[in-house]
Amino acid sequence: MSTRPANLPEKIQHFIDGKFVDSLDGDTFDVIEPVSNEVYITSASGKIEDVNLAVAAAKRAFEEGPWARMLPRERSRILHKIADIVESRDAQLAEIESWDSGLPITQALGQARRSAENFRFFADLIVAQHDNAFKVPGRQMNYVNRKPIGVAGLITPWNVPFMQESWKLAPAMATGNSVVLKPASYTPLSAALWPDIFREAGVPDGVFNLILGSGGVAGDALVKHPDVPLISFTGDSSTGAMLSTNAAPLLKSLSLELGGKSPAIVFADADLEAALDATVFGVFSLNGERCTAGSRVLVQRDIYDDFVERFAERARNIVVGLPTDPQSEVSALVHPNHTEKVLSYIEIGKGEGRLLAGGGRAEGLPGGNFISPTVFADVKPDARIFQEEIFGPVVAITPFDTDEEALKLANDTRYGLAAYVWTTNLKRAHNFAHGIESGMVWLNSNNVRDLRTPFGGVKASGLGREGGYRSIDFYTIQQSVQISLEESHSPRFGVSGK
């Protein structure tokens, strides 16, 4: 059994206008921890009325409070304080994140530190940012005036939840908006840490509001609320499509980061050891519960047998253990419902590929959410485990012969979030990257992303981009202002004959 973190609250409440509150109807839901699948806490369950209160508080704070009118430097100082507090509590945050989501403790610690960096990055960016100004000599000046939009609705997933929340909160708040955060119902615990962090840092009441509950009720109410002009959502593609439909009548700004079935393409001339390191890590880290996982590994036939054998050996040697064990590389999946989904795909895979590692629940561990890292080789492109997002520690490996075949296989899914290419041929690397239908490509690298770069996908993997200035663009109105530098020479209507 994992050790229960100290000082857990008795229950989790909404946070509205600077106060922790229960749902208006008193409704709650049970939250389980993924090692034992036992209920360890109850959470307030938000309804339309609770969302209305949170949005009203956020709107009031935006229209009447100081946050949107602060100088960028003033907001920057507060954001840096938030980063300092998160960094000072990284061990506690990692422990809570690991307990709530099943993430191995060493990987949870990295996510806590990345959360602090998200706030620090945008704290710096809003002070350094500049906008366009244009001059027509002697005639006109034009400049761009950026303004916060209002209430930002932020809907976050259950995988690495605290980091995902910081990724949206930091730019939304940095640019002067107020926010309503709706975290995933599987993992609400770490979201409940934000109110005290923000209060200690000096964020005014009403700028941050937290609504807990189901996506189908609380999330839906947030999307449909007329006083929420923009929604940033991370989650599965089917939910994103429904969200887009529901937001369309109100013409909301949307940023949708959705599912993925990302290819990792390994050519015969690649640095094989480096490619193995990256592809094994890329699909099995974070328990395989990551949207950018390289869950389809495409390998050139010249090295295919050797690569597959070595990949499978590594997978068999991965340490599966309790989230609290620093030696664990893969741990408990987030929820029994999700575990059953992953196991069902493994059963499908046994009829679609050659099973070389894993294939079911890990032995000798409690609770049933532990799945052995699973490797299928010789998977055909029309197989479900090749086409569909599994979101667990399962990989499909497929051979290819030519560059053209590799590109066709890489693009042969409805998704297009990330891709990874391994080759020492520089011309091939660039040309191949340009041909891949994905929002992001890593060449001879695992998933290491500079915060200045855009994040997002194409096809069923999403809509819009966030990251760096793209986040500033999304969370602000860009108003164009024109100034005449000479006497106006407008055509004179209505003065005929005079």
The catalytic residue positions are: 257, 291
Task: Please state the separation of Cα 165 from the chain's center in Å.
Answer: 8
Alpha-carbon distance 248 to 288, whole Å? Answer: 33
- Please tell me the distance from the alpha carbon of residue 176 to that of residue 122, in angstroms, as a whole number: 12
Secondary structure of the chain as H, E, C letters: CCCCCCCCCCEECEEECCEEECCCCCCEEEEEECCCCEEEEEEECCCHHHHHHHHHHHHHHHHHCCHHHCCHHHHHHHHHHHHHHHHHCHHHHHHHHHHHHCCCHHHHHHHHHHHHHHHHHHHHHHHHCCCCEEEECCCEEEEEEEEECCEEEEECCCCCHHHHHHHHHHHHHHCCCEEEEECCCCCCCHHHHHHHHHHHHCCCCCCEEECCCCHHHHHHHHHHCCCCCEEEEECCHHHHHHHHHHHHHHCCEEEEECCCCCEEEECCCCCHHHHHHHHHHHHHHHHHCCCCCCCEEEEEHHHHHHHHHHHHHHHHHCCECCCCCCCCCECCCCCHHHHHHHHHHHHHHCCCCEEEECCCECCCCCCCCCECCEEEECCCCCCHHHHCCCCCCEEEEEEECCHHHHHHHHHCCCCCCEEEEECCCHHHHHHHHHHCCCCEEEECCCCCCCCCCCECCCHHHEECCECCHHHHHHCEEEEEEEEECCCCCCCCCCCCCC
> Residue 223 and residue 436: Cα distance in Å, rounded?
32
Residues 6 or more apart whose CB falls under 8 angstroms from that of 245 comprise none
Alpha-carbon distance of 132 to 492, in angstroms, equals: 32
- Around 197, how many Cα atoms within 13 Å sit in the side-chain half-sphere? 28
